[in-house]
Structure 1
Amino acid sequence: MPVSRRKLLAGCAGAFAGLAGYDPAYARALAGAAGPVPVRLWLRREGTKEEVSAIVRTPDGYNAHDLLLLSWLLRDVGDASAAVWIDPRLFDLLAAVQGAMSAVHGSAVPLIVTSGYRTPKHNAGLEGAARASLHLAGRAVDLKAAGYAPDAVAVAGALCGRGGVGIYPNFCHLDLGAARVWGRGRKTSPGQPAPGTPITQPKESA
């Protein structure tokens, strides 16, 4: 049974309400902008400066030629540029995220890939990386959007997708796995103590 946009927005708000920087108005704007999945996707690759503007779908289905270009862009540049065929549904997700953010922004918002496919060797050498990371299967991507905080990309990812959303200081993780949200290494707002900071009993106000 399809999930309504209202329920999606409610779930998004519940997941992100406790995060610093979460903007309900921005989430509502995204929900209003979300529509049919766009067929075009514009990605940049951090580090290599490569850029691909691709047609993900045609009236006949997925566009194999452009999916190959996108899959190569998401190769493991940290391990001899090893590449695999990326799950095309990941590109559908990214196109939806980009489409919604661009509609709210008023012009195209570049999505910048920081990590796509990872080889087992590369993944094993990364501190904190999950042993069964979906990056290994071509079903996950780490990215950021020019001019936006990771929170903004995360909200769009939660609204447009049904998988995992991870929020990090400098990027957002999106995947096609089970629906879940997490954050690591998050910075607190100025003047706000970090969770876990010891406290003493407050003095009663006069």
Structure 2
Amino acid sequence: MTETSSSGLSRRALLRAFAATAVTAAPTYSMAAGFLRGGGDIRRIRMYSGRTGERIDMVYWIDGDYIKDAVKEINFFMRDWRVDQVKTMDLRTIDIMAASHNLLDVSEPYMLLSGYRSPQTNAMLRSKSRGVARNSLHMQGQAADLRLASRSVSQVANAAASCRAGGVGKYYRSNFVHMDCGDIRTWGG
């Protein structure tokens, strides 16, 4: 069902026009959930994992309500695959990811590099890289490291930062963007 305004534009066309200009205009919103309220009646997330070969493409929110089974599948998808542990992901992070993806206007799914990390996995990764925080929000289910082949690190990071809803880190050398629902901050040149 398409609503048409008196100017002949559909609601979907107006939303697309807004999304196309939103990254450039860099709106400031207090949280991604508030930003998404203007984006329609559904929220959708699309990802794949090069580590497990799994893919997910699902609507997880409709008309103001999270879909319990969809959220459960997202939690499983974003598990620590190294130790096969699932943690409930903070829905604010999922909302930031979805809002950023919408702003980028791509159909390509995110490549998920890291979602939830167990303390053991975080310690192992920390021993191999200075870029892994001791108290990483990944261990709280509040962060994700993502990549899009069709968009640059800067483009993905700018979309996430425009949500003004959490932390955004640029990792150019490893070609990914960190998104979390913690304090609003950015890092990485």
Q: Which residue of 1 aligns with 2:179?
A: 174
1:60 shift after superposition: 5.5
SS at match of 2:89: coil
For the structure 1 residues 124 and 62, does the alpha-carbon distance in structure 2 shift closer, same or farther, using more than 3 Å as the test?
same
1:85 to 81, 88, 111: 88
Query: What RMSD over aligned residues (CA atoms) do the two structures have, in Å?
Result: 2.1
Counterparts of residues 6-155 of structure 1 (less than 5 Å): 27-28=23-24, 35-36=38-39, 38-59=42-63, 61-78=65-82, 80-102=83-105, 107-126=106-125, 127-128=129-130, 129-155=132-158
Residue-by-residue CA offset, 1:4-58 (whole Å, 9 max, x unaligned) = xxxxxxxxxxxxxxxxxxxxx9941776xx8426511111112222111111212
Structure with greater contact order relative to length (CA < 8 Å, sep ≥ 6)? 2
SS at match of 2:116: coil
Structure 2: gaps of 5 or more residues: 1-20, 28-35
Contact kept, 8 Å, 1:101 with 1:109, in 2: the verdict is: no
SS at match of 1:39: strand
Residue-by-residue CA offset, 1:113-163 (whole Å, 9 max, x unaligned) = 100000001101112211111000000000011211111110000012421
Structure 1: gaps of 5 or more residues: 1-24, 187-206
1:157 to 157, 160, 165: 160
Q: Which residue of 2 aligns with 1:6?
A: none
Please give the alpha-carbon distance, in whole angstroms, between the structure 2 residues aligned to 1:56 and 1:29. Answer: 27
Q: Which residue of 1 aligns with 2:3?
A: none
1:71 shift after superposition: 0.9
1:87 shift after superposition: 0.9
**Which residue identity is paired with 1:45?**
S
**TM-score (structure 2 length as normaliser):** 0.74
* Bigger Rg, structure 1 or 2: 1
Aligned length: 153
